[in-house]
Structure 1
Amino acid sequence: MSLVTYELTQHIATITLNRPEARNAINGALRRDLNAAWDRFRDEEDAWVGILTANGSVFCAGADLNDGDGAVGTFGGTFWEKPTINSFESGMELFKPTIAAVHGPCIGYGLTGVLFCDFVIADTEASFSFPEVLLGMPTIVGAIRLPHRVGWANAMELLLTGKPMSAQRAKEIGLVWKLVEPDALQAEARAWAETLTEAAPLAQRATKEVAWRTADMGWIESVRFGETMRKVVGSTGDVIEGIRAWREKRKPEWRGR
């Protein structure tokens, strides 16, 4: 049985954690399957939008502390993982739009991955936590990413207490973008993904990359980089199609090239 499933329909890739008997805790095998799924999404030309979700009643129980290949940090005999940026949750370069559809507890490693998604849609029964400090370990990638997402004090509320945050509170601070009833979660995520596929995929990726890279650039460098990206995308067939469709007053047929 695959610990992560990958389904591609109508340009939308759904990546699903599939270890419900272990509350989707991240062991070494699940980590490898998850990284492979994100690599596939990044490289597959027909995949324009990604949805991260999970089977079972728990979105993710965090790292499996009984598996040294799955846990991050040291606790109970587990080992330090080498620093990396080539996995999705630790910051691989991926500029396709991504959505997290979260239900139930979303803990530690799972929350780190969710934070890398552009849109977090959660049901009212979801909760979020970084419990590492309660185990004597620091949170690393979450501590780097979370303050930029929700502000300093809100981030420290999660990072320094280790306590769960309700979906309602997460929506209040901006961690959750949209809050829905449990039976509407998957449909809401899918509907938003379909909305995203209405735009030109290469233009979306260039726009997201500009937003991402210029966060640490000066103004002149940012504008120069942005104009370079405009020229790169401006040479694609989708631009010709977009203008032609606008003139003909019809819906464009994007090809992603």
Structure 2
Amino acid sequence: MTDILLRHDSEHITTLTLNRPQARNALSLGLMEALDAELAAIAADTAVKVVILAANGPAFCAGHDLREMRATPTRPAYEAVFALCSRLMQRIVSLPKPVIAQVHGIATAAGCQLVASADLAVAAETARFATPGVNIGLFCSTPMVALTRGIGRKAAMEMLLTGDMVPADRARELGLVNRVVPEAALRDATLALARQIAGKSPLTVAIGKEAFYRQAEMDLSAAYAYAAEVMTRNMLARDAEEGIDAFLGKRQPVWTGT
């Protein structure tokens, strides 16, 4: 891992910090590769229960690194960028640990996609979001995939067609972010949410996250059949037995992750 991505581990929470402040944390090939590699390693790391995506500098993420992309204006180069970005976003969704975006400044284009791909998002009151590709002749087609799965279609289409900046409070109304807090409280608020989730059974959280995304792509009857099977499997886990026994016994559960 290079210094364009920083990692900090504490209390079973890993914070990955985008560290290209001069470029507003634009997603260069190097940054996407570093982030994808770290998430792949975290997937197998039993010590990590929650991941926070944060950023240094004035912005969370301004999207793809357009200067880097225009330096090699060929189809293979563009295909490589978007393939890597797509893999990274799917890595976030498939990661068996919740991912929380800690957003300040702007999150635009692929930066907005990063927020929409995260499981949860906490934003500073001053944060703003946009998919402004349409303004420069490049429709935000890949950010659209995450956006349309995170907010309503009409709202997503408005963002995609106008390119307008959406303030944090409106982003919360749309469902793009979960919580909006004063900028000075952003880190503490994100950590509080991460700690709350880290206190749950990691097995249960992993089962639930996978099931959440899988059932969302099914029709109603298939979703219920799948969810019933997931709950049956979950009930047979040691952590479910421990959690139910602890609840009935009015004591704190002791999770083993099995």
TM range (shorter): 0.7 to 0.9
Residue segments in structure 2 that go unaligned for 5+ positions in a row: none
Give deviations 1:80-102, integer Å, cap 9, x for gaps. 33546532367652242221110
Indicate conservation of the 8 Å contact 1:91/1:116, yes or no: yes
Give deviations 1:65-110, integer Å, cap 9, x for gaps. 1213999xx69x9623354653236765224222111000111111
CA RMSD of aligned residues (A): 2.5
User: C-alpha displacement at 1:191, in angstroms?
Assistant: 0.2
User: C-alpha displacement at 1:188, in angstroms?
Assistant: 0.1
Structure 1: distance between partners of 2:71 and 2:30: 8
Partner of 2:103: 102
Verify: 1:178 aligned to 2:179, yes or no: yes
Write 1 or 2 for the structure with the bigger share of helix.
Answer: 2
SS in structure 2 opposite 1:100?
strand
- Against the structure 1 CA distance between its residues 144 and 154, is the aligned structure 2 distance closer, same or farther, given a 3 Å change threshold? same
Give deviations 1:7-51, integer Å, cap 9, x for gaps. 222221111111112211111111111111221222211211111
Letter in 1 for 2:38: A
Letter in 2 for 1:67: E
Structure 1: distance between partners of 2:132 and 2:70: 19
Structure 2: distance between partners of 1:13 and 1:255: 20
Partner of 2:78: 79
Identical aligned pairs, as a percentage? 32
Superposition pairs of residues 116-195 of structure 1, within 5 angstroms: 116-195=117-196
Indicate conservation of the 8 Å contact 1:11/1:47, yes or no: yes
Residue segments in structure 1 that go unaligned for 5+ positions in a row: none
| TM-score, length basis structure 2 | 0.88
User: C-alpha displacement at 1:59, in angstroms?
Assistant: 0.7
- Against the structure 1 CA distance between its residues 193 and 149, is the aligned structure 2 distance closer, same or farther, given a 3 Å change threshold? same
Structure 1: distance between partners of 2:26 and 2:223: 40
Verify: 1:239 aligned to 2:244, yes or no: no
SS in structure 2 opposite 1:62?
coil
Indicate conservation of the 8 Å contact 2:115/2:176, yes or no: no
- Against the structure 1 CA distance between its residues 55 and 198, is the aligned structure 2 distance closer, same or farther, given a 3 Å change threshold? same
Structure 1: distance between partners of 2:77 and 2:213: 34
Indicate conservation of the 8 Å contact 1:4/1:16, yes or no: yes
Indicate conservation of the 8 Å contact 1:61/1:110, yes or no: yes
Structure 1: distance between partners of 2:200 and 2:9: 18
- Against the structure 1 CA distance between its residues 90 and 48, is the aligned structure 2 distance closer, same or farther, given a 3 Å change threshold? closer
SS in structure 1 opposite 2:251?
coil
Structure 1: distance between partners of 2:91 and 2:144: 11
SS in structure 2 opposite 1:99?
strand
